Amino acid sequence: MADTGFAPSWLLFDRSTRAIIYGYQAQAVQGMLDFDYVCRRDRPSVACIVNPTRGGTHLAFWGSRPLPVPMYQSLAEAVARHPEASVLVNFASARSAYGVTAEALAHPCFRVVAVIAEGVPERRSRELIAMARERGTTLIGPATVGGIKAGAFKIGNAGGTLENIVESRLCRPGHVAYVSRSGGLSNELNNIIARNTDGVYEGIALGGDRHAGSTYIDHILRYERDPEVAMIVLLGEIGGTDEYEVADALRAGRITKPLVAWCIGTSAGLFSAGVQFGHAGARADAQRETARAKNEALRAAGAVVPASFEDFDRSIAETYCRLVAAGKFAPAADVQPPPIPMDFGAAVRAGVVRRAPAFVSSIADDRGEELAYAGLPISEVIERGLGVGGVIGLLWFKRELPAWACRFIELVLQVAADHGPAVSGAHNTIVAARAGKDIVSSVASGLLTVGPRFGGAIEGAASVFRRAVKDGQPAGELVAAMRAKGEPIPGIGHLAKSVTNPDRRVELLKSFSAQHFPATPHLEYALAVERLTTAKRDNLILNVDGCIGALFLDLLQSSGLFCAAEIDEVADGGMLNGLFLLSRTIGLIGHFMDQRRLRAPLYRHPWDDIAYLAPDRHEP
């Protein structure tokens, strides 16, 4: 514990101490900043974060104000930019903790290095301990929660939640310093000391591994030299012999301040063989390492050792009261810390705030134990064999459709999946694939051509047929009205198919509906329109888009699950083009894969495929 230039030598932390955090631990960083805020520090204790995967900035909070924290990809850069940082809080994994700590020990700016990781190999731990002692650096850990200097600084997650920190009066220093092995029990010590004294001055959790970077005596001797410490608390445990160093120092007079001590694990004597008590080092392999033997040694050396842990708090309180009565110090006054705003996520979970969500979803929910589609668990969707059509019913319409309706949807997806390479969607996909574009870009280029001339007729036909059927408009009036406006009837007409050469896809859809649909008023209306239009020209037939649009209206109406307003919404809301998008995506992916299998070169138009037109010239 040599003096490395910081004065006084016993002081590891104060209200100006700054730390570098190794590892992207956002919760720990915010916890340190919240502690700084309630302690009314002038400057945040977190100087920066070292995140090997990316640099930039981490957005934290100082009270309610956003606080950007610099983030670097190397420790060397962090040290160069923040030479004032004297503490490294090392959250690196057990696998990389040794290398990061060794690098940190080579930087003279670090007075303290805390290694949080558990499971660091013992040989590596001993090497780090030797390096730290050679350089005069205080090493806390491995396997530690760190430590806390009340009203000044805390390491990582030490002290627990902010509520526990405030309740334990850690926002200002008391006069009792402690050292323990356990991070969890150090939080208990914070509460015990707060209830029985004026509070904690400083507390260190050494870490639970067999070889700790610093020992009880290291910190107790610091507390002995610190004039602000009135009494010391030691919470030892079964395993190891470090407590005997404290007993020796008591007998030698090196420790003069009152010391209240207890070693946990006295129940181990009830077992016939050695028992592991949680920590890697909490195991007695010899009588000298038992908690009972160490408690007796500390008591014989002059420490205040209670009869059991149940009396530990009473011993602390009695020792404290004697010091106050003797006028050794004036108890610290309580302070009211500023309130910390609750994080929005925590407030929502606690049910203390409400805010209109930016996005709303009523079709799927993944918050429970399993995903649900429209309230139906995914396992039930699969077990009941609802199929793709059933899933579409749940996600598109929030209804569980009858079996015949699900089968119809799947039939639509099959017959509309592709229509050859010449249509615009397939053509664009092929061109993009030959140009070396990825699957998403290639398929998207094809889907972007969907519109009135490619696929959009499903929506148009459904809208026209729905209005005509609702209004009771005769088929002849519809044909005449569209002719008068000079507009084609959506869903009517085909380039290659005709009355004498029918589209087999339309025949399949009509056959299925005749067998399974309860009623088909929209299809019958569309066929009435077809009889009129084919009388003029035999290729003005009901095409596959028009047939799908009409039959889907019949599906909604015949199922009995939708009211008239809902059917109108589907007909006019652009939803039915989703059937074409979904089905045609299957074909477009096939075209992309086909081109990749063929290893087709970059597409280039031959000169004969381009018509060059002279520009129009308008004479004045």
Answer for the pair 23, 96: CB distance below 8 angstroms, yes or no.
Answer: no
State the sign of the Cα–Cα–Cα–Cα dihedral 392, 395, 396, 401: positive
Residue 337 CA to residue 522 CA, distance in Å, equals 72
Residue 420 CA to residue 153 CA, distance in Å, equals 71
83 backbone dihedrals φ, ψ, rounded to 5°: -65, -15
CA atoms in the 13 A half-sphere facing the CB of 603: 16
Answer for the pair 146, 159: CB distance below 8 angstroms, yes or no.
Answer: no
Own/partner contacts of 76-82, CB < 8 Å, gap of 24 or more, are 76/103, 78/20, 78/47, 78/48, 78/50, 79/20, 79/107, 79/109, 81/48, 82/18, 82/20, 82/47, 82/48
What are the angstrom distances between the C-alpha of 82 and each of 19, 33, 40, 228?
9, 17, 22, 29
- The vertex-251 CA angle with 248 and 255, nearest 5°, equals 85
267 backbone dihedrals φ, ψ, rounded to 5°: -70, -10
What letters, b where the CB count within 10 A reaches 16 and e where it falls short, cover 109-126? bbbbbbbbbbebeeebbe
User: Residue 558's closest CA among 507, 512, 595, 593?
Assistant: 512
At 232, which helix (H) or strand (E)? strand 231-237
**Cβ-proximal residues to 588 (8 Å cutoff; 6+ apart), any chain:** 418, 425, 426, 429, 442, 443, 446, 447
Residue 287 CA to residue 404 CA, distance in Å, equals 79
Number of Cβ within a 10 Å radius of residue 535: 11
Q: What is the DSSP letter of 376?
A: E
Instruction: Quote the strand ranges of 325-417, DSSP E.
Output: 364-365, 372-373, 376-377
Indicate if 605 belongs to the active site: no
For strand 200-205 and strand 146-149, is the pairing parallel, antiparallel, or unpaired?
A: antiparallel
Q: Which two tokens stand for residue 1?
A: 């514990």
Q: Which of 58, 107, 175, 279 is catalytic?
A: 279
Residue 550 CA to residue 581 CA, distance in Å, equals 17
DSSP string, 304-348: B--SSGGGHHHHHHHHHHHHHHTTS-PPPPP--PPPPPPPHHHHH
Q: What is the DSSP letter of 289?
A: G
Q: Residue 151 pairs with which residues in a beta bridge?
A: none
Residue 546 CA to residue 489 CA, distance in Å, equals 9
Q: Which two tokens stand for residue 587?
A: 């074909």
User: Residue 256's closest CA among 308, 323, 185, 309?
Assistant: 323
Cα–chain center distance at 357: 19
Q: Which two tokens stand for residue 255?
A: 């420790």
At 50, which helix (H) or strand (E)? strand 46-50
Q: Which two tokens stand for residue 60?
A: 């934290």
The residues assigned a catalytic role are: 279
